[in-house]
Amino acid sequence: MAGTIDITYNILCNEHEGRGGDNIETLLREIALEQTVEVPDGCFLNQPHINTTIVPTVRDVRPLEPDKYTTDNATDRYITAIHKTPRRYRATLSFNPEVTAWQLPQFLNVLFGNISFNNNVQVVGIDLSDDFLRAFKGPGYGIPGIRQMLGVYGRPLLCAVLKPMGLSAVDLASLAADFALGGADIIKDDHGLVDQPFCPFEQRIALCQQGIEAANAKTARKTLYFPNITDSADKIEGRLRFALRGGVAGVLVAPYLVGLDTVRYLASTYRIIIMAHPAMTGAYFHDPNHGIRPSVLLGSVFRLMGADLSIFPNAGGRFNFTPEECLRLSQSLRGPLGQLTPAFPAPAGGMNLDNVAEMAAMYGEDTVYTIGGSLLQHPEGVRKGVEAFLEKIISCFPHAYQPSVQSSPPQWQPRSSQASVTLGEVFEHLSFSEGFGWSGRSPRLYKEGVNQPFRYISRHELIGRYGEETRFDLRYFQIEPGGYSSFERHLHIHVVICIRGEGVLLVGGSRYTLRPFDIGYIAPMRPHQLINESVAPFGFFCIVDHERDRPIPL
Amino acid sequence: MAGTIDITYNILCNEHEGRGGDNIETLLREIALEQTVEVPDGCFLNQPHINTTIVPTVRDVRPLEPDKYTTDNATDRYITAIHKTPRRYRATLSFNPEVTAWQLPQFLNVLFGNISFNNNVQVVGIDLSDDFLRAFKGPGYGIPGIRQMLGVYGRPLLCAVLKPMGLSAVDLASLAADFALGGADIIKDDHGLVDQPFCPFEQRIALCQQGIEAANAKTARKTLYFPNITDSADKIEGRLRFALRGGVAGVLVAPYLVGLDTVRYLASTYRIIIMAHPAMTGAYFHDPNHGIRPSVLLGSVFRLMGADLSIFPNAGGRFNFTPEECLRLSQSLRGPLGQLTPAFPAPAGGMNLDNVAEMAAMYGEDTVYTIGGSLLQHPEGVRKGVEAFLEKIISCFPHAYQPSVQSSPPQWQPRSSQASVTLGEVFEHLSFSEGFGWSGRSPRLYKEGVNQPFRYISRHELIGRYGEETRFDLRYFQIEPGGYSSFERHLHIHVVICIRGEGVLLVGGSRYTLRPFDIGYIAPMRPHQLINESVAPFGFFCIVDHERDRPIPL
């Protein structure tokens, strides 16, 4: 097999107890079987190859020194063995990537599915093959993308948290405006804010985004808003779309509440920043000798999933991550991981004006300080609180750079900023003429200023761009023989109606022939292309939303 | 507030240590704040009502006797306190259901989101208000539905497990046929079987279902097949649909791999039996003083999610659930829970022919024995293995009943009969036919239930009213000679495109003749009417906003 997926475990082994399963080779073999074939050893029916291609092989095994045994302990953790102290080993199993089918849910199963019920094993590291990593897009923006959007370099970012639950949307928007006036780089919803009756989602998102945009206009700087989109499986994508349409650049989501692969799907489908919240993951970190190390789960796995920022409990806060673990986690997010963009560690909790310098020395510049309570409790109000934090941060980073004027807009942008061409008089009637033209409407290039693969295609803007008060646009496209449109996808839908000749519509994996008055519907985010394989012009109407997102070329 | 959501915790409290957070009231207050507002006490800005309606109240708190302290321990669990032994309390907090927004992800957050990072708290019980429960459908089939489908009563069911990973689809189908010939009630995929290259999903499901149906025809009995549909978020629904189309009655899925609410969505949308696998949940049960009790997570929560059967590690198997916990879990699945149908406990592991009687005494009849390795290792082959197990089971349940001929197809209907099993997806292509009709679209009356002056006019709804995600509708209207539309005005605009014959468009004081591909635009509130003064049909597309105001007749 090409590259393998290597998983490294710490394993406790009661060598002195004398029962079955008490030597490290036996324990490793049990883990290897449990995570793949799940049958007793030797019970492979008539297929001996299973043992060589499906069951992982032991790559490495060595005892850890006894004094390392409690290195990871935080003060309040309870560990001790019943009977004799078990010995601790570190071992690595090499898995054939085929067993994961290159999908996240089955990868999680291989990582810690059944052995989550074992009491003696902790996943402490993963090493993923390039082949496997290529199946994942990872962070869409990551550290470089977010910095570019903000125009802020050389210092950690400050993320202020909107809370508490129970405030109205109006109050939260006012709080958001204050955070933004103070200069926060990012404002995120508390992860418990969903669509409660006392603070409906759409109202909150609209008002907070407005409040922040108004503040940005005053400060001539840029604060990004990341609303929480955690919701039911059948609603979360709609939440994200609503946020996108409202001009929001990123979202907060808790992968363990909505499913990690749901987040991967959203991150890899939409142009949006993903901030991951660790709610409900704490059980994996409770015992330093069991579970999955935070650096693996909240670091490598969340980055693989597509988190651009990963929130975790800061050392010294109200939860119990050690400084070593926080640094290891930060390294998993920022260090090399195949082709994946580095992501921001976002330590949360336990930050105050007095330990900013300490934080700066510990985490370095590529970090997002996620601050809630400390800002809300600032004696001179939250705006002054943000200013004071920012001042402290900048004082620790002499090369910090941020633009004094508003940085360029984010790449994603509704088309509305492209002002409609108004000719003064709005026509009520466009008369059709021979050769497929309309009165008052000249053909244009298919796309302007975009360097994408398309050929022999022209466009008439018929209705929507000449001052009509429509929420949709009607266009006519014509593709000459041998031509085609860009292969692309986008959030807005298309309705196409063939009116001339014959053409081919590709949607997803389907291929349709369009003849006059045949209609095509292209659902959101479906890859599509129109092609003329005939020997005569192929022409079609295309109806789209007036306000729409930019296509993503494929 | 109406009913509350009551969550009961066991809490360890280091009363003697003298630091903050060391008395039970303080700890409870911390939990109450952490799970809702997430701000320091008193920091509620100007909104005192938050403390009464958002923060939960303490319903009950009492110390547990010291001798109960280790009651739950299994032999291999390591528990002990650093410093002095902490005292254990049981306490109940009452939450306002509004904070959950009646959705599963936010309910999970309230249940064990941030406090998963606390080291001293375990969720041991939940009591859900009827109001909250009514937001969930729960098991669509449950114990009564599955029994009726099988025609088997008065004894536990036998579920055989298809494995190991690495077998081809052909080999697995052959194994499945043997299980079915032996009389297994259910055959489920191992949860690690997904869509690996060595055993593609569609091939496996088709061949196994065929093998089982062929065996059913021979035995004149009924064995159900539950394939594993665990897959990426954008593929899992397609997997389920494929299985449904192939005649499969149920599916296996691991909620912690794909997301609990993804499973809830599938369970409440499709008529299919859901068998839940506990992969990756073990970390919540690792420490008997931390996490969530199996009876809560794999019992109540999975049932709320819609599991008809919940698999868990059987006491005495290779994992460490105690008999007490297994029984408590079974009770959570089978006992009263609002309007929800009872679900089957499906203990897995540690079963053999020698302990069937013991299992029978422990779990009673409403149980599914989930058996893998023991069947594969039967010296006379898997078919004999199943027969031997069934014989043993039946011998323990003298009133067991099962039909000797194949039971009739299931009559039991899931409660939500309006569940949308729309296997006919949204059309991507409407083909035009002679006579101005489109595939899948019948003509309708011009207007229904409205008494307005119009004549000889019909309407096709083409796009926008058949599940398409458009913000506009595309319709086709046809006016026969002598006919006309209502004379009316409205806020929404019209775009009309003539495609058949010739007609007249009146807009305000203007009169336009429309011939094929001529376009009309009707601005907001402009009085308008379409008229056919010719001797042949006049047909036109009309595009309007999907959400629009009602016309005002003139």
B361/chain A closest Cα distance in angstroms? 25
Min mean pLDDT across A131-135, B15-19, B219-223 is at: B15-19
> Mean pLDDT for chain A?
87
> Tokens at residue B141, please?
């089939």
A546 Cβ neighbours under 8 A, 6+ residues apart: A416, A464, A470, A471, A472, A473
Q: Is the pLDDT of residue B491 over 90?
A: no
- Quote the pLDDT of residue B2: 61
Whether pTM exceeds 0.80: no
Q: Is the pLDDT of residue B15 over 80?
A: no
Determine the residue type at B282: G
> Tokens at residue B172, please?
């697995």
Return d(Cα A124, Cα A321) in angstroms, integer.
Answer: 15
CATH number for the domain whose boundaries are A156-396: 3.20.20.110
Specify the pairing of strand A552-553 against strand A503-507. Answer: unpaired
Residues facing residue A58 across a β-bridge: A93
B86/chain A closest Cα distance in angstroms? 11
A78 to B81: CB separation less than 8 angstroms, yes or no? yes
CB distance B478 to B500 below 8 Å: yes
> Tokens at residue B242, please?
């494929």
Chain B residues closer than 8 Å to A289 by CB: 78
List the single residue in B50, B231, B283 with the smallest CB-CB distance to A291. B283
List the single residue in A230, A285, A515 with the smallest CB-CB distance to B105. A230
Nearest-CA residue of chain B relative to A52?
Answer: B166
The boundaries of every CATH 3.20.20.110 domain in chain A are 156-396
Select the residue from A22, A52, A79, A119 to test the B interface by mutation, using most B Cβ atoms within 10 A: A119
DSSP string, A65-123: PGGGTTTT--TT-----SSSPPEEEEEEEEE-GGGGTT-HHHHHHHHHSGGGG-SSEEE
Between B244 and A47, the more confident residue is B244
- Quote the pLDDT of residue A57: 95
Cα dist. A47→B164, B173, B374 in Å? 10, 15, 18
> Tokens at residue B119, please?
């080291």
Return d(Cα B16, Cα A251) in angstroms, integer.
Answer: 43
- Quote the pLDDT of residue A448: 56
Give B432-553's CATH code, choosing from 2.60.120.10, 3.30.750.24, 2.30.30.230, 3.30.160.60. 2.60.120.10
> Tokens at residue B252, please?
């296996």
A415-553 domain in CATH 2.60.120.10?
A: yes
Q: Is the pLDDT of residue A177 over 80?
A: yes
A443/chain B closest Cα distance in angstroms? 16
Radius of gyration of chain A (CA): 28
Give the CB-side neighbour count of residue A487, counting CA atoms within 13 A: 7
**CB proximity B2 to A under 8 Å:** no
Chain B residues closer than 8 Å to A75 by CB: 82
B58 Cβ neighbours under 8 A, 6+ residues apart: B25, B28, B32, B91, B92, B93, B94
Determine the residue type at A381: G
Condensed to tens digits (0 to 9), the pLDDT of residues A404-431 reads 543 343 333 333 333 233 334 567 778 8
Which residues of A carry out catalysis? 542
Q: Is the pLDDT of residue A237 over 70?
A: yes
**CB proximity A504 to B under 8 Å:** no
B261 to A232: CB separation less than 8 angstroms, yes or no? yes
CB distance A382 to A180 below 8 Å: no
A166 to B517: CB separation less than 8 angstroms, yes or no? no
- Dihedral (C-alpha) A314, A318, A320, A321: value to the nearest 10 degrees? 0
B528/chain A closest Cα distance in angstroms? 11
Q: Is the pLDDT of residue A18 over 90?
A: no
Cα–chain center distance at A163: 22
A427 to B521: CB separation less than 8 angstroms, yes or no? yes
Mean pLDDT of B70-88: 50
- Quote the pLDDT of residue A86: 79
A252/chain B closest Cα distance in angstroms? 13
Angle at B319 between CA B314 and CA B320, to 5 degrees: 85
DSSP string, B410-422: P----S-TT----
Return d(Cα B300, Cα B331) in angstroms, integer.
Answer: 9
Mean pLDDT of A427-446: 80
Chain A residues closer than 8 Å to B520 by CB: 428-430
Mean pLDDT of B81-86: 54
CB distance A203 to A209 below 8 Å: no
Q: How confident is the model at residue A75 (pLDDT cuts 50, 70, 90)?
A: very low
B47 to A171: CB separation less than 8 angstroms, yes or no? yes
**CB proximity B64 to A under 8 Å:** no
Return d(Cα A114, Cα A111) in angstroms, integer.
Answer: 9
Q: Is the pLDDT of residue B409 over 60?
A: no
Return d(Cα B384, Cα B406) in angstroms, integer.
Answer: 21
Mean pLDDT of A341-369: 94
Chain B residues closer than 8 Å to A13 by CB: none
A230/chain B closest Cα distance in angstroms? 7
- Quote the pLDDT of residue A375: 92
Residues facing residue A274 across a β-bridge: A251
Determine the residue type at B163: K
**CB proximity B61 to A under 8 Å:** no
Mean pLDDT of A329-344: 95
Superfamily of domain A5-133: RuBisCO large subunit, N-terminal domain (3.30.70.150)
The boundaries of every CATH 3.20.20.110 domain in chain B are 142-396
List the single residue in A38, A109, A377 with the smallest CB-CB distance to B43. A377
Collapsing DSSP states into helix, strand and coil, what is residue B282? helix
Q: How confident is the model at residue B84 (pLDDT cuts 50, 70, 90)?
A: low
- Quote the pLDDT of residue B42: 77
- Quote the pLDDT of residue B69: 43
Mean pLDDT of B73-80: 40
CB distance A439 to A492 below 8 Å: no
Nearest-CA residue of chain A relative to B114?
Answer: A279
> Tokens at residue A316, please?
């010294």
> How many residues are present in chain A?
554
Collapsing DSSP states into helix, strand and coil, what is residue A422? coil
The boundaries of every CATH 3.30.70.150 domain in chain B are 5-133
Return d(Cα B314, Cα B329) in angstroms, integer.
Answer: 11
Portion of chain A with pLDDT greater than 70, in percent: 89
Condensed to tens digits (0 to 9), the pLDDT of residues B323-376 reads 999 999 999 999 999 999 999 999 998 889 999 999 999 999 999 999 998 899
**CB proximity B426 to A under 8 Å:** yes
Select the residue from A22, A232, A322 to test the B interface by mutation, using most B Cβ atoms within 10 A: A232
In B358-421, the DSSP E strands lie at 368-371
Q: How confident is the model at residue B526 (pLDDT cuts 50, 70, 90)?
A: confident
Query: Measuring CA to CA, which residue among A283, A108, A82, A79 is closest to residue B285?
Result: A283
With b for 16 or more beta-carbon neighbours within 10 A and e for fewer, the B383-421 pattern comes to bebbbbbbebbbebeeebebeeeebeebeeebbeeebee
A163/chain B closest Cα distance in angstroms? 7
Determine the residue type at B267: A
Q: Which of B13, B326, B498, B542 is catalytic?
A: B542
Min mean pLDDT across A9-23, A64-78, A479-493 is at: A64-78
Min mean pLDDT across A74-88, A153-167, B469-483 is at: A74-88
**CB proximity A466 to B under 8 Å:** no
Nearest-CA residue of chain A relative to B135?
Answer: A232
**CB proximity B257 to A under 8 Å:** yes
Q: Is the pLDDT of residue A82 over 80?
A: no
Radius of gyration of chain B (CA): 31
Specify the pairing of strand B455-463 against strand B472-484. Answer: antiparallel
Q: Is the pLDDT of residue B76 over 70?
A: no
Nearest-CA residue of chain B relative to A493?
Answer: B470
In this structure, what are the phi and psi dihedrals at residue A260, rounded to the nearest 5 degrees? -65, -35
Q: How confident is the model at residue B49 (pLDDT cuts 50, 70, 90)?
A: confident
List the single residue in B44, B99, B523 with the smallest CB-CB distance to A469. B523
> Tokens at residue A244, please?
């996108």
Select the residue from A515, A517, A525 to test the B interface by mutation, using most B Cβ atoms within 10 A: A517
B142-396 domain in CATH 3.20.20.110?
A: yes
> Tokens at residue A225, please?
């808003």
Runs of H (alpha helix) within A151-286: 169-182, 201-219, 236-245, 255-258, 260-269
Q: How confident is the model at residue B66 (pLDDT cuts 50, 70, 90)?
A: low
- Quote the pLDDT of residue A403: 64
Mean pLDDT of A25-47: 88
> Tokens at residue B102, please?
């009646």
Return d(Cα B103, Cα A467) in angstroms, integer.
Answer: 43
Chain B residues closer than 8 Å to A499 by CB: 499, 517
Condensed to tens digits (0 to 9), the pLDDT of residues B236-277 reads 999 999 999 899 999 999 999 999 999 999 999 988 999 999
CB distance A94 to A57 below 8 Å: yes
Between A208 and B84, the more confident residue is A208
Query: Measuring CA to CA, which residue among B131, B264, B30 is closest to residue A197?
Result: B131
Residue A449, class by beta-carbon neighbours within 10 Å (0-12 exposed, 13-18 middle, 19+ buried)?
exposed
H or E stretch covering B178: helix B169-182
- Quote the pLDDT of residue B78: 38
Q: Is the pLDDT of residue B424 over 50?
A: no
- Tokens 């190991």, residue located: B164
Nearest-CA residue of chain B relative to A38?
Answer: B164
Q: Is the pLDDT of residue B432 over 90?
A: no
**CB proximity A434 to B under 8 Å:** no
Q: How confident is the model at residue A84 (pLDDT cuts 50, 70, 90)?
A: low
Between A103 and B78, the more confident residue is A103
| B326 catalytic per annotation | no
**CB proximity B491 to A under 8 Å:** no
Condensed to tens digits (0 to 9), the pLDDT of residues A459-475 reads 888 988 887 878 899 99
Nearest-CA residue of chain B relative to A476?
Answer: B517
Q: How confident is the model at residue A66 (pLDDT cuts 50, 70, 90)?
A: low
Q: How big, in percent rounded to 5, are the helix, strand and coil portions of chain A?
A: 30, 25, 45
ipTM of the prediction:
0.74
Collapsing DSSP states into helix, strand and coil, what is residue B286? coil
> Tokens at residue A328, please?
């290891």
Cα dist. A464→A469, A519, B477 in Å? 7, 20, 22
Q: Is the pLDDT of residue A396 over 90?
A: yes
Between B498 and A66, the more confident residue is B498
Residues facing residue A510 across a β-bridge: A507
Query: Which of B334-348, B407-421, B431-445: highest mean pLDDT?
Result: B334-348
Q: Is the peptide bond before A164 cis (omega within 30 degrees of 0)?
A: yes
Collapsing DSSP states into helix, strand and coil, what is residue B164? coil
Return d(Cα A148, Cα A143) in angstroms, integer.
Answer: 9
**DSSP category for residue B106:** H
Return d(Cα B485, Cα B454) in angstroms, integer.
Answer: 5
Determine the residue type at A111: L
CB distance A154 to A147 below 8 Å: no
A164 to B37: CB separation less than 8 angstroms, yes or no? yes
Condensed to tens digits (0 to 9), the pLDDT of residues B131-142 reads 999 999 999 999
Give the CB-side neighbour count of residue A442, counting CA atoms within 13 A: 4
Q: Is the pLDDT of residue B196 over 80?
A: yes
